[in-house]
Amino acid sequence: MNNLFNEIKNFVKNHRVFFIFLVISLLCGILSQCWQFWLIFGIILYIILVVYFSREFRNLLNIHVVALSLIILYAAPSTILILQGKINLDNQESLMLFSSISIGLIGYAFGAFFLKKLFPFEKKKNTKLSKKLNSLFWLAYKYRYVLAFISGLVLFYWGFLPLSMSYKESITYRMETPGVIQYFNSLIPTIFSVLIVTMISIIGDVKKYKKLSLLSYLLIILTIFSIMAGQRLWIIALFACLMLAFQPYLKRRHIIAIIILLFIMTFILSGAVRAAKAGGSFTENLKNFYSYFLNIKNMSFTDLMWGFDDFTGPFSTFITLVKNVPQNIPFDHFLPIKDFSLLIPTIIYPDRPLPVNSWFSKTFEPELFYEGRAVGFYTLGFGYLFAGLLGVFIHLFLSGCLFEYLSKFFKIAGDTARLFLYSYFFVALFGFINGAGIIAFIKISLIMYFLIPLFLLFLFVLIFHSLSPKRTK
């Protein structure tokens, strides 16, 4: 315990300028009760943390930089609308909104710093875990053609559409089918998804040959078709994989320019995919996608940035909470316990409390809830509903601890395996910012759709390898 205290003390000494700025700023904010201060303070704090975690912009795709950036990016469009007067908030509501964001950033940073000092990390080469993970990756890369063939069969049987059905059909399916059944039905398309095989091929090619093979290009094309069919988040996953793989060969200014350009392109493509998935089949989706781009010349900038709805939607739930909690609805101090109960399947516990995003839909948008649709729920809202500003700090503190632990795990995994694991996990970060609590994030994004599919994929590769005829010397 004394060693931990000394470590924290030394850390504060080494970063005394940051902590002096933090303490003085917080005192000024508390005394002034001015929401404009918290807005400016939050922006400055975010820039400082990005510079720190990215090591002066050398690693902009660092897990902490991405998580913090998502907190800000989801808040940015609505913040602009608030400043323009298009979203009406009184001074107290604005103060609570922007102070929550700043305190959330502080909580996240403290969580990351705390775990870093609690479990100091020394990067070791060729650990047992690193050797095992890298050997599993290269074994999967060795059988990439087999995996690509199976992925093609999965696409042929299930189709390009998510859940192998149109968007309207998927809503009915999710309403009528228990979650456990849904999960098992989606396991094979998840394990042998064209995205995961594409990542294996891209990273293996770049590491081995420093260029992409014909197979990688073909898999990228199939991934793009899947994106057009409705897999919108795959845009981010594919971009992250390519950026991480080629990052050692790009200069810092090129990386920053590409990230900014692709950030804008992601919004445009996201709008196109949203327009496309209204179709009832893959062919209709492709036609809608093509029609969207034909009509671009007649669109305003606002129409092109249709993808901003994905950001303003979740953040609007947080604004609604700030307006109603605790004025009309009391804080829910049992929310973490309810979050833990989500680990129990509904088949075993039918009266399990609703996830917080479903609770929000039922409370504030019942028409959506009874149609089987849940809204995206901004991560700060979970902490705020639990205990106000203190709850925001605690929730983001725990999130900072979790992501620092994951960051250590990816570093331990070694170079090639780290790239693959982090690329595949990257899209799960959207589950953190737009999910239903930290336990729900661990259960769904981390365990169900990250660890289990990877375990089963590697298990299949090992079994296939053991059954393959061995070459005799």
DSSP string, 432-447: HHTSS-HHHHIIIIII
Q: How many domains does the chain have?
A: 3
**Among 249-263, 359-373, 390-404, whose mean pLDDT is lowest?**
249-263
Asked if residue 390 is part of any domain, the answer here is no
Whether 272 and 191 map to the same domain: the answer is yes
Domain stops at, among 89, 123, 157:
123
Whether 271 and 318 map to the same domain: the answer is no
Whether 143 and 279 map to the same domain: the answer is yes
The burial of 179, by beta-carbon neighbours within 10 Å (0-12 exposed, 13-18 middle, 19 or more buried), is given as middle
CA distance 224 to 194: 10
Whether 222 and 79 map to the same domain: the answer is no
Give the pLDDT confidence score for residue 217 in this predicted structure: 93
Q: Is 90 helix (H, G, I), strand (E, B) or coil?
A: coil
Give the pLDDT confidence score for residue 207 in this predicted structure: 92
Asked if residue 441 is part of any domain, the answer here is no
Tokens read off for 289? 């996608």
What average pLDDT does the segment 135-139 reach?
Answer: 95
Asked if residue 388 is part of any domain, the answer here is no
Whether 409 and 260 map to the same domain: the answer is yes
pLDDT digits (tens, 9 = 90+) for 416-447: 999 999 999 988 888 888 877 888 899 888 99
Cis amide leading into 77 (omega within 30)? no
CA distance 28 to 35: 11
Asked if residue 392 is part of any domain, the answer here is no
CA distance 66 to 410: 15
Say if residues 37 and 29 touch (Cβ distance below 8 Å): yes
Whether 346 and 230 map to the same domain: the answer is no
pLDDT digits (tens, 9 = 90+) for 185-213: 888 999 999 999 999 999 999 999 989 99
Percent of the chain's residues with pLDDT above 70: 75
Please choose, from the candidates 98, 121, 112, the residue with its C-alpha nearest in 3D space to the C-alpha of residue 52.
Answer: 112
Asked if residue 290 is part of any domain, the answer here is yes
pLDDT digits (tens, 9 = 90+) for 368-419: 777 766 677 899 999 999 999 999 999 999 999 999 999 988 988 888 999 9
- Phi, psi for 388 (deg, rounded to 5): 65, -140
Say if residues 178 and 347 touch (Cβ distance below 8 Å): yes
Whether 137 and 241 map to the same domain: the answer is yes
Whether 403 and 428 map to the same domain: the answer is yes
Beta strand segments in 22-160, E: none
Q: Which domain, by its residues, includes 227?
A: 128-307+399-435+448-467
C-alpha distance across the termini of the chain, in Å:
57
pLDDT digits (tens, 9 = 90+) for 449-465: 999 999 999 999 999 99
Q: What confidence category does residue 287 fall into, taking pLDDT thresholds of 50, 70 and 90? A: confident
The stretches of 277-328 forming alpha helices (DSSP H) are 282-294, 301-304, 309-324
Please choose, from the candidates 279, 272, 242, the residue with its C-alpha nearest in 3D space to the C-alpha of residue 160.
Answer: 279
Domain stops at, among 105, 123, 141:
123
CA distance 109 to 399: 9
Give the pLDDT confidence score for residue 424 in this predicted structure: 93
Whole-model pTM? 0.86
Domain stops at, among 99, 123, 147:
123
Whether 405 and 267 map to the same domain: the answer is yes
Whether 135 and 249 map to the same domain: the answer is yes
CA distance 268 to 259: 14
Asked if residue 394 is part of any domain, the answer here is no
Say if residues 205 and 142 touch (Cβ distance below 8 Å): no
Asked if residue 473 is part of any domain, the answer here is no
Tokens read off for 293? 């781009």
Whether 322 and 272 map to the same domain: the answer is no
Position 220 pLDDT exceeds 80: yes
Say if residues 296 and 304 touch (Cβ distance below 8 Å): yes
Whether 85 and 117 map to the same domain: the answer is yes
Asked if residue 389 is part of any domain, the answer here is no
What average pLDDT does the segment 316-345 reach?
Answer: 90
pLDDT digits (tens, 9 = 90+) for 80-134: 888 888 888 999 999 999 999 999 999 999 899 888 877 665 566 668 888 999 9
**Among 86-95, 144-153, 232-241, 313-322, whose mean pLDDT is lowest?**
232-241
Position 47 pLDDT exceeds 70: yes
CA distance 198 to 225: 13
